[in-house]
Amino acid sequence: MKPLESPRRRVMIRSLKIAGGLYILYLILGFFAVPRIIKNVLEGRIATTLDKAITLEKATFNPFLLSTTLTGLRVEDDAGDILLDLGHLYSNNACSPSRTCRSIYLG
């Protein structure tokens, strides 16, 4: 048996392919599915729970930095009065030993 065809090497290559595929799936879900989920939850469930009209222009999630940006977040009451109007809401969800685990920046 050639060294390139050893069972141990085949298992290692298969494991690397599986890990690479899972990483690509994580990136696809992070960049495309998470923003849609955030928007649907904000405009649907949270708006129903608060009994307020919530609109969101755009949501982005960066799976590399674990950060979320909400653009055009607006909360209105039943009379149409604006309760909250944010141009940008940036949340850094990553933890590091040198700072707190959660930071939110309003802009």
Mean pLDDT by groups of 10 residues along the chain of 107 residues: 74 95 96 96 92 95 92 92 93 68 58
What is the pTM assigned to this prediction?
A: 0.75
Q: State the residue range of the domain holding 16.
A: 3-106
- With a CB cutoff of 8 Å and minimum separation 6, the contacts of 65 are 92, 94
Gap between the Cα atoms of 104 and 107, Å rounded: 10
Question: How many independent structural domains does the chain possess?
Answer: 1
Q: What is the structure's pLDDT at 31?
A: 96
